[in-house]
């Protein structure tokens, strides 16, 4: 294949009273072809930071490695974890400078995490735009996710409710966006650190809501 695996995905970030939830599905596509069914799109950057990726897989993986290394260097120099805003700004500045396989990074990212000011999520575009919000969705399935997020999000949503909301939102995208599918990955970031929600737990929660989560 002369090109990296191309865009088509659904990623989600939700701020809650205890921190944030980051989520994605697992499908990678090239046009109408399903290239892979177990692609990692949620990356651990640090105990308090996570990243979701949409777009070219090669560009996304390189950026995840870069920001992870920068965060580690920051901790060594400052003896403190990087804030969510600082991590998002650093990555946005890199995107703005350009590079990647196309002369720019063909990606849409969400940086989320927990710091002394609480939980935060930022959406980043290929031009270096960096916007903070209470909830964001990036990727081809995002319009369907936003419909659910707009309807169900509330300012005082807790961690448990936001995990369920992520499942509902991903399910809406997986039903209508052919580039989204093959299971869900959901992680939480709170004062207790970066925690992956197990596939069994996702399936149990989905079942209680009458949702079937297809496996790869």
- Which pLDDT tens digit goes with each residue over 167-186? 999 999 998 887 787 889 99
- Active-site residue, selected from the candidate residues 9, 29, 83, 188: 9
pLDDT at 16: 98
Distance of alpha carbon 42 from its chain centroid, rounded?
A: 5
Distance of alpha carbon 198 from its chain centroid, rounded?
A: 16
Strand partners, 121: 112, 133
**210: exposed, middle or buried (Cβ count in 10 Å: 0-12, 13-18, 19+):** exposed
Pairing type for strands 42-46 and 33-36 reads: unpaired
Q: What are the φ and ψ backbone dihedral angles of 86, each rounded to 5 degrees?
A: -65, -40
pLDDT at 216: 63
pLDDT at 34: 78
pLDDT at 7: 56
Domain 11-208: top CATH class = alpha beta
pLDDT at 198: 95
Indicate if 9 belongs to the active site: yes
Which letter, b or e, does each residue of 156-180 get, where b requires 16 or more Cβ atoms within 10 Å of its Cβ?
A: ebebebbbbbbbbbbbbbbeebebb
Tokens of 110: 């969400």
State the number of CA atoms in the 13 A half-sphere of 58 facing the CB: 11
pLDDT > 90 in the chain, percent? 70
pLDDT digits (tens, 9 = 90+) for 155-166: 999 999 999 999
Tokens of 38: 């177990």
Positions in the chain short of pLDDT 50 = 1-6
Axis-axis angle for helices 159-176, 142-152 (nearest 10): 140
Neighbours of 32 (CB within 10 A): 8
Give the domain ranges of the chain.
Answer: 11-208
Q: For the chain, what's the residue count?
A: 216
- Spatial neighbors of 80 by CB under 8 A, at least 6 apart, are none
């Amino acid at each position: 294949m002369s090109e990296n695996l191309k865009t088509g995905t659904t990623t989600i970030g939700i701020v809650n009273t205890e921190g944030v939830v980051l989520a994605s599905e697992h499908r990678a596509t090239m046009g109408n072809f399903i290239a892979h069914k177990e692609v990692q799109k949620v990356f651990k950057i640090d105990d308090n930071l996570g990243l979701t990726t949409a777009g070219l897989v090669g560009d996304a993986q390189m950026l995840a490695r870069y920001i992870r290394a920068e965060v580690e260097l920051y901790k060594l120099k400052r003896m403190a974890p990087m804030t969510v805003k600082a991590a998002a700004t650093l990555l946005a500045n890199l995107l703005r400078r350009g590079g990647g396989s196309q002369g720019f990074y063909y990606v849409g990212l969400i940086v989320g995490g927990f710091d002394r000011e609480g939980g935060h999520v930022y959406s980043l575009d290929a031009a270096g735009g960096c916007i903070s919000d209470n909830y964001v969705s990036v990727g081809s399935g995002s319009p369907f996710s936003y419909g659910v997020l707009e309807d169900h999000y509330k300012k005082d949503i807790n961690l448990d409710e936001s995990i369920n909301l992520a499942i509902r939102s991903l399910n809406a995208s997986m039903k209508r966006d052919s580039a989204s599918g093959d299971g869900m990955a959901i992680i939480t970031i709170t004062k207790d650190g970066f925690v992956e929600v197990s596939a069994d737990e996702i399936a149990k929660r989905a079942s209680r809501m009458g949702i079937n989560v297809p496996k790869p």
